[in-house]
Amino acid sequence: MITAVLGTLGAFGIWFSSVFLRDFMKHKDNLEDNSWAKVSVIGFITNFFDTLGIGSFAPTTALLRAFKQTKDRVIPGTLNVSCTIPVILEAFIFIKVIKVDTLTLVSMIAAATIGAWLGAGIVSKFPERKVQFIMGIALFVTAFLMFAGQMDWFPGGGEAIGLRGGKLIIAIVANFILGALMTAGIGLYAPCMALVYLLGMSPRVAFPIMMGSCAFLMPVASVKFVKEGAYDRKASMGITIGGVIGVIIAAYIVKSLPLNMLKWLVIAVILYTSLTMIRAALNNSVSNKEVIEIE
């Protein structure tokens, strides 16, 4: 089954790469006026931390805007196209090297993928501020519970590499929701880490699950952006090249980290994501009030 998953993922990667490369070569004499060095370094940095579970979209957006490397209009397409190959590579690495129960892995990946497709129309109608605030609080509580477990205040987490029965059903439903929330701009990585922890699995198991979930979603969305020309070709290629290098280096770190250190890393990632979500929710609230006052 794992071989089938990797084979399907590889086919998706080849399909996307062929579409991307054909479009890039077709426009190679008319590329955007940005810096190969800057976009490649941006790709290296953001995908390095993406491999550690922090996510790449928000920091890539911030760096592209800070260094004025692309137009805001094409940022969504650029993010998807540039990060597709690095994320597929992440999924390949972690699915192959981190032992995880096949049924748990496949069912959670499938749930997230289906959730992203079927749940898009529903979740996209949810008020973004409320989703951000609720998720932010939930992640903060999870980070605290993990911290308490690390401090031996009470038992927490576990060493399981798979789930069965009620816990597996909870994991499938939760990952379906997380996949749907991706369409509302809520990243899957940190919530998936929290879910894995709360269900008693090893934090290490979160990596193949969350990387695999995203790797199956991104090629389809990215091909659409490529065909519509709604992305920055030069920035996407540079970020891809730098990103692949960053992924390989970071994956070695994740594989070699002692489990105790990995738990602290996961706590930091979840806490960071929690605070950024709460801040985004508060900023959205302020923006909405300003709009109402202007009207």
- Residue 21 is assigned to a structural domain of this protein: no
Q: What are phi and psi of 201, to 5 degrees?
A: -90, 165
Domain count, the chain: 1
Residue spans of beta strands (DSSP E) within 141-258: none
Q: How confident is the model at residue 286 (pLDDT cuts 50, 70, 90)?
A: low
Instruction: State yes or no: pLDDT of 212 exceeds 60.
Output: yes
Report whether 141 contacts 208 (CB < 8 A).
Answer: no
Q: How confident is the model at residue 288 (pLDDT cuts 50, 70, 90)?
A: low
Instruction: State yes or no: pLDDT of 291 exceeds 60.
Output: no
Report whether 273 contacts 187 (CB < 8 A).
Answer: yes
- Residue 17 is assigned to a structural domain of this protein: no
Tell which residue, 79, 100, 141, has the closest CA to residue 6: 100
- Residue 66 is assigned to a structural domain of this protein: yes
pLDDT in tens, 159-204: 889 999 999 999 999 999 888 877 666 778 888 888 888 898 988 8
Output the pLDDT for position 150.
79
Q: 237 is in which domain, residue-wise?
A: 34-284
| Mean pLDDT over each residue of the chain, to the nearest integer | 86
- Residue 271 is assigned to a structural domain of this protein: yes
- Residue 68 is assigned to a structural domain of this protein: yes
Q: What are phi and psi of 257, to 5 degrees?
A: -70, 135
Instruction: State yes or no: pLDDT of 142 exceeds 60.
Output: yes
- Residue 290 is assigned to a structural domain of this protein: no
Cα angle 58-119-266, degrees, rounded to a multiple of 5: 40
CA distance 192 to 175: 7
- Label residue 83 exposed, middle or buried (CB < 10 Å: 0-12, 13-18, 19+): buried
- Label residue 51 exposed, middle or buried (CB < 10 Å: 0-12, 13-18, 19+): buried
pLDDT in tens, 83-106: 999 999 999 999 998 899 999 999
Query: In the chain, what is the straight-line distance between the N-terminal and C-terminal CA atoms, in Å?
Result: 57
CA distance 116 to 183: 6
Output the pLDDT for position 284.
73
Rg (CA), the chain: 19
The sign of the CA dihedral 29, 34, 40, 45 is negative
Hey, which residues does 160 pair with through a beta bridge?
201
Q: How confident is the model at residue 34 (pLDDT cuts 50, 70, 90)?
A: very high
pLDDT in tens, 238-269: 999 999 999 999 988 877 778 688 778 888 88
Q: What are phi and psi of 125, to 5 degrees?
A: -90, -10
CA distance 24 to 78: 13
Output the pLDDT for position 43.
97
- Residue 28 is assigned to a structural domain of this protein: no
pLDDT top residue among 145 and 23: 23
- Residue 132 is assigned to a structural domain of this protein: yes
pLDDT in tens, 50-87: 998 877 887 888 899 889 899 888 888 899 899 999 99
